[in-house]
Amino acid sequence: MILHIKNMVCPRCIETVRSVLEEQGFKVLSIKLGEVETDPAPSEIQTLQLSEALTSKGFELLQDKKSQTLEQIKAAIIQWVHYSEEHPVQNLNLSEYLVREIGADYSSLSHLFSASEEVTIEKFAILQKIERVKELLSYGELTTSEIAFKTGYSSAAHLSAQFKKETGMTPGDFKKLKDKDRRSLDSIG
């Protein structure tokens, strides 16, 4: 049985969800951001217990199709932006990637996302990329050109222009900040 879980945004989230499921007596067959395949399928009572256990850890068990699809879109974008080095996907453009990952046409995914969220898929992806850039800038290990390459920007100038448009400062200004304003991935959008 495939379960859809909201707020799975990082490898630690995956391990936390795996632990919750195993504590509840489920065998995890596969797990990725936002989605878990379990054996056996949970009963109604087990679903309630699992939902409570996940909620206590900051997650939400999604049961309606619309919410599941929205979470699949978000998880796929987070995967595409933040973890593409582990699973190379940047050779695909975002719309091709979403179609491949979710198995629905891009137009319907885009319409659903825009109607349900306060941003478009493209804007959500940009905001995720900006957070990734902030993370890499915070480490201080890469140049802006290296970060641009690593995050799929065509140039350092393009990265800098988009970063300034979204944050009001240049990447260099952000590097100089003592208290760098970073957001959790599940709060972006």
Q: Tens digits of per-residue pLDDT, 64-76?
A: 999 999 999 999 9
Of the candidate CATH numbers 3.30.70, 3.30.43, 1.10.3470, 2.40.350, the domain formed by 2-63 belongs to: 3.30.70
Q: Which value, to the nearest 10 degrees, does the dihedral of the CA atoms of residues 27, 30, 34, 35 take?
A: -80
Mean pLDDT in residue range 119-145 = 94
Domain at 66-189, CATH homologous superfamily: Homeodomain-like (1.10.10.60)
In the chain, where are the structural domains located?
A: 2-63, 66-189
pLDDT of residue 182: 65
50: its two tokens: 């699992």
> Does residue 82 or residue 48 have the better pLDDT?
48
Question: How does pLDDT run across 22-72, given as a tens digit for each residue?
Answer: 999 999 999 998 999 998 889 999 999 999 999 999 999 998 999 999 999
Residue 108, pLDDT > 70, answer: yes
Rounded to an integer, what distance in angstroms lies between the CA atom of residue 153 and that of residue 52? 41
* Share of residues in the chain with pLDDT > 70 (%): 90
Average confidence score pLDDT of the chain: 89
The span from the CA of 135 to the CA of 74, in Å, is 19
Given a cut of 60, whether residue 90 has pLDDT beyond it is: no
The answer to whether 15 touches 73, Cβ cutoff 8 Å, is no
User: Looking at residues 78-100, what average pLDDT do you find?
Assistant: 76
Among 59, 25, 57, 28, CA closest to 43: 25
Mean pLDDT of 80-96: 71
Work out the pLDDT band at 164, boundaries 50, 70, 90. very high
- pTM for the predicted model, two decimal places: 0.77
Confidence category of residue 87, pLDDT binned at 50, 70, 90: very low
Q: What is the pLDDT of residues 7-22, one digit of tens each?
A: 998 889 999 999 999 9
According to the model, what pLDDT value does residue 93 have? 87
Spatial distance between the Cα atoms of 169 and 158, rounded to a whole number of angstroms: 14
pLDDT of residue 85: 62
78, two tokens: 């987070």
